[in-house]
Structure 1
C-alpha cells in the first residue's frame, strides 16, 4: 500500500500516545466463517443498519455480523475502539472482518486506515453533503480526504454529496448514487380475495385506520373519530389494538363510545351504518393499510411506548399521522415529514382535524405518493449495499 498523505501520517503519529484512550473491555470470541462489520454513526441509522445486516446474513451462507455503535439483540456487538493505531489494530486482529459497512459522516482515521491495510473491504453508505468530522485537534490538517481514499465504494445520497466527494479526490469509479440509509420494510401481506371483497363493500366510503393503538389511546381515538364524523357522516374507523390481549378492553371502550360498531374477530362485516370496525389485533394490518388512505399510528400519543415503524404503512400507500412519542423510530418519521408524507398530532382535537383534512382524496394521494418515494429510495439503497456485500463475501470465501 502506498504511503498515506501527510495529514493522515501526522494524525496517526499524534494519536499513538493519546492519554484519553481507554483500554477495551474483554471481547467475545470471534466465530468461524466470514464476518461483516457494520458501524452506525448515530441512533437514527442503527435500526436501518441492523436490518440491512440481517438481510445480508440471510442471503449469505454462514456469514456473521458484528455491529459497533448499535444496540442489537440479533447480532454480536462491540464498542468502537479508541482511535489510536494500537487499539484499532487490536480490534481488527481480534475480529478479522472481511468487510466493513460504515455509515455517517463521523470518520475514524486510524481505525479505517488500519482496516484498509488489513484487506478489509470498506463501503461508506449514506454519504451526505453535510460535511465530515474526524477526531483530533483543530489545528491538524483535515484528514477526511485521505480517509475517504481508503473506501472501496462510497454510496452517496444525492448529486450534491457526489460532487463534494469528487472535489475531495474520490474517483468516480468508486462512487455509487443511491438514497439515504433507511430501514427497509417488506410490505405486509393480505389475501387478495379478501381485499377485493372489502374494497367493493367499502366503495365510496372515506376510511381511516388507527393502527397498533395502545389501551390508554383508545378513548382518545374514538373521540377524535366522533368529531371527524360530524363533517363526513359516512366516515369509517378501523381500530386495531397493538396487543391482542387488550382486545377485550378495547371492545368495552367501543361499546362505551356509543358509536355503531362491528367486530372483525366475531365475524362481523361492516355495513352502511357501521362507524367503527374493530380488529382483534394487528395480524391483518396489510389489509387495513391497503383499504385506508390515512392512518394514525399508535403508541405515539401515550408516553412510554416509543411509537411504531411508519414505513409499514407508507409502503402500502397510507398517509401517516402520529403523536410526539416516537423516539424509537424518530429518524423514519423525520424522513416522512420532510417529504410531506406524515403529520404530527398532539391530542384528540388535532387528530380529528387532521383526519378531516387528509381524508380528502387529493390530499391523501399526494402524501401517500410522497411516502412511497421515501420507502422506495430506502429499498434501493438497501438492495445496492446488499448486492455489494454479497459480492465481497463471495470473493472472501473463494480465497
Structure 2
C-alpha cells in the first residue's frame, strides 16, 4: 500500500496542521470541475452543520471557512503522520487518481471514506509498474462510492467493488441554490406580462448587444408582442448597452429608473444581475452572455436551468464547458454562433411548448444532481454522528 502508480506525489511533507476540536471533514478533488462541485457541497454541509471544520486539498478553490492543505508523499509513514495530524472523521474523495497509502492511513484511523464522481476510466496509482496494481485494494477501503452512471459501476464491479457501497449516480455538479426574488413583485410582473412571449439576455457583454438587438428585431417580425429583458454583466457593460438600446429605435422600459413595462414595451433594460432571480422566472428562454464575445468564458448555465429557463449560448464557454455539454446532451441548451442563428433560435423556441420541453430537460439534470448531494450529505452526517457517539 506504500506506492501509487502513475504520477509523483508531493516532494516534501506538508506543514503540520493544528486541528481544531470538533468534527472534521476532509475534501479532495483532482480537477477544477470536481473542485467547484465539492466546494458547493461542503458549503451546504457547513450550513447544515456549522460546527464542522472543512479541510480541503487538490483542485478545490479556496473557501473562506475551509483550510487548504497539501498532501504528503505517498509513503506510509508520511501518510500516517498527516492523517494523525488532521484526524478526519469523513473523507470526500472526488478523484480518479488513488493514493493507496494515504487512503489506508485514513481508514486505519476510523475515517469514513466516500468516493464521488467515479468515472468509467482507469484508476491510476503511483506504484512501480512491476508491482501488482493496488487500485482494487484501495477501493475496498471506501465506505461508499458514487459513480457517474451504469458504465462506471460495471467497471467497479469488475474490480471487486460490489454490494450496497456502490451507488449508480450521475456526474457531480456545482449547483448553487436557486437565485431568490420577491414573490409579490414576481406575481405583479407575471400578471402584467400575461400572454406576451418573453426572452432574456443575461450577463450581457457590451460586445454582444449588437447581435442581441439584431436577433430581437428578427424575432419580433414573427412575434410582434415579443419582449426582450436585457441584463448587463457589469456597470461598464451597462453604460454601453444602455446607449445602444436607446439608439435602437425600440420602445424601452428603464427598470432602474422605476419604469414598468406596458403593452408596447419591446425591451426592458435592467441595470445589473442583482435581480436575475426575478428575470429567470419571468422568461422561459434565456441567452447567457459572455459566450458570443471571446475572452469571458461564459456563465454558469445551472443558474438559469435551476429556475426553469431554456438556454441559448455562444461558442466561447470554456470556463463551463462540461456543464454546457451536459445540458446540451440532455436537450436543455442550444448553441448559437451569431445574430442570425440567435434570432432564428429565439423565433423557434419562444413558443411555450418548445421552451417548456428544454426547461423540463434542464430541471431533470438539476434535480437528479440535487438528490445526489442530499444523499451524500445524509451519509456524511450519519458518519459524523456515529463518530461523536462512539
In structure 2, C-alpha distance between the alignment counterparts of 1:340 and 1:24, rounded to whole Å: 47
Q: Contact 2:29–2:57 (CA<8 Å) still a contact in 1?
A: yes
In structure 2, C-alpha distance between the alignment counterparts of 1:373 and 1:77, rounded to whole Å: 34
Asked if 1:289 corresponds to 2:280, the answer is yes
Task: Pick one of 287, 292, 297 that aligns with 1:301.
Answer: 292
The ranges of structure 1 where at least 4 consecutive aligned residues each deviate by more than 6 angstroms after the TM superposition are none
Task: Pick one of 362, 367, 370 that aligns with 2:353.
Answer: 362
Map of 1:391 onto structure 2: 382
Task: Pick one of 352, 356, 381 that aligns with 2:372.
Answer: 381
Q: Contact 2:293–2:316 (CA<8 Å) still a contact in 1?
A: yes
Q: Contact 2:117–2:147 (CA<8 Å) still a contact in 1?
A: yes
Task: Pick one of 234, 247, 251 that aligns with 1:256.
Answer: 247
Q: Contact 2:4–2:134 (CA<8 Å) still a contact in 1?
A: no
3-state DSSP of counterpart to 1:257:
coil
Bigger CA drift: 128-137 or 379-388? 128-137
Map of 1:184 onto structure 2: 175
| 1:29 CA drift (Å) | 3.4
Q: Contact 2:92–2:115 (CA<8 Å) still a contact in 1?
A: yes
Listed as ranges, the matches of 1:1-399 within 5 Å are 8=1, 12=2, 22-27=11-16, 29-69=18-58, 70-74=60-64, 75-244=66-235, 246-399=237-390
Compared with structure 1, are the counterparts of its residues 20 and 346 closer, same or farther at alpha carbon in structure 2 (3 Å cutoff)?
same
Compared with structure 1, are the counterparts of its residues 260 and 392 closer, same or farther at alpha carbon in structure 2 (3 Å cutoff)?
same
Q: Contact 1:190–1:287 (CA<8 Å) still a contact in 2?
A: yes
| 1:129 CA drift (Å) | 2.7
In structure 1, C-alpha distance between the alignment counterparts of 2:296 and 2:78, rounded to whole Å: 38
Map of 1:3 onto structure 2: none
In structure 1, C-alpha distance between the alignment counterparts of 2:321 and 2:79, rounded to whole Å: 31
3-state DSSP of counterpart to 1:221:
helix
Q: Contact 1:15–1:85 (CA<8 Å) still a contact in 2?
A: no
User: What are the superposed Cα offsets for residues 271-326 of structure 1, whole Å, 9 maximum, x if unpaired?
Assistant: 23221111122222222111211101122233343322211210111011122333
Unaligned runs of at least 5 residues, structure 2: none
Unaligned runs of at least 5 residues, structure 1: 1-7
| 1:127 CA drift (Å) | 2.2
In structure 1, C-alpha distance between the alignment counterparts of 2:135 and 2:37, rounded to whole Å: 24
In structure 2, C-alpha distance between the alignment counterparts of 1:40 and 1:251, rounded to whole Å: 42
3-state DSSP of counterpart to 1:296:
strand
Q: Contact 1:314–1:375 (CA<8 Å) still a contact in 2?
A: yes
| 1:218 CA drift (Å) | 2.8
Compared with structure 1, are the counterparts of its residues 341 and 139 closer, same or farther at alpha carbon in structure 2 (3 Å cutoff)?
farther
| 1:61 CA drift (Å) | 3.8
| 1:203 CA drift (Å) | 2.4
Size of the aligned set, in residue pairs, is 387
| 1:155 CA drift (Å) | 1.9
Compared with structure 1, are the counterparts of its residues 19 and 153 closer, same or farther at alpha carbon in structure 2 (3 Å cutoff)?
closer
Q: Contact 1:320–1:341 (CA<8 Å) still a contact in 2?
A: yes
3-state DSSP of counterpart to 1:115:
helix
In structure 2, C-alpha distance between the alignment counterparts of 1:363 and 1:130, rounded to whole Å: 36
3-state DSSP of counterpart to 2:115:
strand
| 1:206 CA drift (Å) | 1.9
Compared with structure 1, are the counterparts of its residues 333 and 117 closer, same or farther at alpha carbon in structure 2 (3 Å cutoff)?
same
